Structure 1
Amino acid sequence: MKAIDFFCGGGGMTYGLRQSGIDVIAGVDFAEECKDTYEQNNPTSTFINSDIRELKENYFEENFSIKRNDDNLIFVGCSPCQYYSIINTDRKKSKDTKDLLREFMRFVDYYNPGYILVENVPGILTRTDSVFPLFEDFLKKKKYFYKYEIVNMCYYGVPQTRKRFSLIASRLGDVYMPKPDQTKAVLSEFIGLENGFPSIEAGHKDVTDFMHTASSLAPINIKRLINTPLNGGSRLAWKDNPALQLRCYIGKDHSFTDVYGRLRWDKPSSTITTNFVKITSGRFAHPIENRGLSIREGATLQTFPKDYKFCANSILANARIIGNAVPPEYARRLGILLYELKEKYNGTI
């Protein structure tokens, strides 16, 4: 089986599919900062640095000999999801990308692949201006069998409370979703001393490929973390301390309680976003150390392997690549499921 990974970013979906045995021919993404990361870790896949809106439908036919109506061809369309995210308060900047699923449809229509995978935020189902109803009508018109669910990835080997819209489609026969695990993946199984993460301080810079690098913190924020209880504590612990309390949170004890909060060893982490290196952006403080998550810790919680190289030129750029990624472990499970479907259609199971 082979795939084209549209909106591939730094290669989370590509890597996971390759782990399942699928040959990912190429990945397409507009963000040039993802190129080196994608290519370093997926050397058999070609990174196409292009806006999908500028690609002609026959591009893959002419450049990669991709055939139309290929039963073993998979198209992946994990388009940017910022517009539909519940944490986005200003959608003006992301509005330009909200209909990219429509562009993905052009290529599906032209090539008629055997399989389709789509991943996005749950908001793609609930917003009244979502392009998804159009996409669903398109699948019906093309006679694809499809299923979709809102999955919590902590039940699919990813130690995060990461809820995502996930769709699988095939024109070869009925489909089903991956089976969830019985238990959640939790923080202590992935990071910490026993998992190869030495203690570091805020501002630590790791110049090796391991990139156990943490953002610097202002002295006042170090004091706030010192006063935040270990293993799950929140900013409410110092809400009555005038030297530590932030003016914007006075009288708002029930709003944004995750900000400055610590993660817990025995639970999944909060969703790893593009800002996971900032303790001011969510519950991203280390359970017991007075710092935020490092680049490698965030990547590990996204289930990237520890030797996955992140090649962007800043901590924030690498955090964007990591936070925007489809967790490779979930992608691997999708790939295994597609092979199961292939065998089912061929009558071998």
Structure 2
Amino acid sequence: MTANERHIKAVDFFCSGGGMSCGMQQAGIEVIAGIDFDITCKETYEANIKGSQFLHKDVFKLEEKELEETLKLKKNDDNLLLIGCSPCQFWSIIKTDKSKSTKSKDLLKEFRRFVEYFNPGYVVVENVPGVLRRKGESGLDDFIIWLESNNYKVHAEVHEVSNYGVPQHRRRFTLIANRVSDVELKPLPRVGEKLRVQDVIGEHNGFPKVSPGNKDSSKFMHTVAGLNKLNLERLAVTPKNGGTRMSYVFDKKLAVPCHYGKVDGFKDIYGRMWWDRPAPTITTKFFSISNGRFVHPYEDRAISLREGAVLQSFPKNYIFMTKSIATTARMIGNAVPPTYAKAVGESIINNHNAV
């Protein structure tokens, strides 16, 4: 069999802005299509994932035969990889309104339809660790049982992405199923020290100092949310490099009323990142200092959109074709960190080359 005949082709379900597809391409896998119901992802996906087709489809309505004909896929293809990183808000431990995400809890079951139909050589599923706590309801339990009974070697564990070259603490559930060999595939860890905030942002990394409210209309998007006078005063007394709201917890003017005098509880809000550590988890609200430890280590502002993106391990030249700070941050925060996706893809490539 020639090298071309052994070339892995991937279809990325729930592709969003392309974080998983980007990492898979970096690993050397050909991503032939990304599928998402959210049309606002289309421009960003197509601008970055060259050679891949964006399919604007509702997976609940998409038929297996339609996908087979559209992409000219084959059943029982050892070279086919199906990826399913469904939206994870319903399974998140973060206390948010789950009513809007209730439908998304069944997306894994819908993805399974396509795995059963095509019987690909490889399957990848990525989600929040919370999906494990309710794996019966999510369909994960039954899916793993089906995979193992159909000759897949299954790896299903929670991984800390900072061990794989991402400059951020983030725990993610990852399933890699392989029926091409009897090897359990795991993401390939990065050798050496973990990347830190200072390794990817700061003036020495091409991020000039900016003020709150900075608007960058270029593709670099070094755009920062604005701050009111009180928040500027809070940041002025927050120690650099890891400082928290504890610096003004007993100041009636500066402390948030519900936090005044309270030294326990959640300390990350209004907190600064550490320069010499990986960033905290980049959420969809990383542009807001009241939603986590998202203050720049040394500048009195929240991190910018581009800083959030590189802390998620997106390349600096990744283009976000979005209309607002909130929309861009949501796309970035919801993404699979590309460098972590690359580590997953490399394990698959290495296995395929060894068979």
TM-score range for the pair, normalised by the shorter chain length: over 0.9
Output the amino acid matched with 1:154. Answer: S
Structure 2 counterparts to residues 1-349 of structure 1, below 5 A: 1-127=8-134, 129-173=137-181, 174-181=183-190, 182-345=192-355
DSSP-derived class of the 1:9 partner = coil
Output the amino acid matched with 2:187. Answer: P
* Greater displacement, 136-145 / 224-233: 136-145
Output the amino acid matched with 2:218. Answer: T
Aligned residue-pair number: 345
The CA deviation string for residues 205-257 of structure 1, in whole angstroms up to 9 with x for no partner, is 00110000000111111111111110000011100000011112235422121
Q: Conserved in 2, the CA contact under 8 Å of 1:75 and 1:113? A: yes
Following superposition, the deviation at residue 315 of structure 1 comes to 1.0
DSSP-derived class of the 1:99 partner = helix
* Greater displacement, 259-268 / 85-94: 85-94
RMSD between aligned residues: 1.2
Output the amino acid matched with 1:250. Answer: Y
Following superposition, the deviation at residue 42 of structure 1 comes to 1.2
The CA deviation string for residues 249-307 of structure 1, in whole angstroms up to 9 with x for no partner, is 23542212100000011101010111111111100000011110101000001111111
Q: Conserved in 2, the CA contact under 8 Å of 1:82 and 1:88? A: no
Output the amino acid matched with 1:134. Answer: D
Structure 1 unmatched runs, 5+: none
Output the amino acid matched with 2:234. Answer: R
Structure 2 unmatched runs, 5+: 1-7
Normalised by the length of structure 1, the TM-score is 0.96
* Greater displacement, 266-275 / 143-152: 143-152
Following superposition, the deviation at residue 43 of structure 1 comes to 2.5
* Greater displacement, 333-342 / 111-120: 333-342
Output the amino acid matched with 1:171. Answer: R
DSSP-derived class of the 2:99 partner = coil
- Structure 2: distance between partners of 1:138 and 1:202: 51
Normalised by the length of structure 2, the TM-score is 0.95
Q: Conserved in 1, the CA contact under 8 Å of 2:167 and 2:279? A: yes
Following superposition, the deviation at residue 148 of structure 1 comes to 1.8
Q: Conserved in 1, the CA contact under 8 Å of 2:188 and 2:344? A: no
